[in-house]
């Protein structure tokens, strides 16, 4: 495929988008089941109960830099909803006690 930048190491097929490569090859991956019903990421070792959660982790989280920066402290997170929840804690701790 012309313009393909993501190649399957097993078959050599190319994909323009990383997500398409993952979608094509992940069904063939053998995920480790550690006996506790945990599917483990082979890159970072994180465990998930559901295979779909592991797939999401591999697509969205693993190896990605945190991009959402807290305006009040040095915390950076990979998910916007985590930052929103964190910032609410900052804001609620600065409010005066209600009577």
Q: What is the pLDDT along the chain (99 residues), one digit of tens a residue?
A: 566 688 877 678 888 888 888 777 666 555 555 556 678 888 888 888 888 888 888 888 888 899 999 999 999 998 899 999 999 999 987 666 554
Structure tokens at 28: 């063939």
- What integer pLDDT is reported at residue 7 of this predicted model? 81
> pTM, whole model, 2 decimals?
0.48
Q: What are the φ/ψ torsions at residue 33 (nearest 5 degrees)?
A: -110, 115
The confidence score (pLDDT) of residue 99 equals: 47
Domain ranges within the chain, ordered by starting residue: 1-29, 31-63, 65-94
CB 33 within 8 A of CB 39: yes
Concatenated DSSP letters of 31-49:
-EE-SSS-EEPTTT--EES
């Amino acid at each position: 495929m012309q313009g393909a930048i993501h190649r399957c190491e097993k078959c050599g097929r190319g994909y323009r988008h990383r997500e398409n490569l993952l979608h094509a090859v992940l069904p063939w991956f053998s995920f480790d089941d550690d006996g506790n019903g945990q599917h483990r990421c082979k890159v970072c070792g994180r465990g998930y109960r559901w295979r779909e959660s592991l797939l999401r982790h591999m697509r969205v989280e693993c190896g990605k830099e945190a991009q959402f920066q807290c305006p009040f402290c040095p915390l950076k997170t990979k998910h916007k909803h985590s930052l929103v929840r964190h910032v609410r804690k900052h804001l609620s701790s600065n409010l005066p006690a209600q009577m």
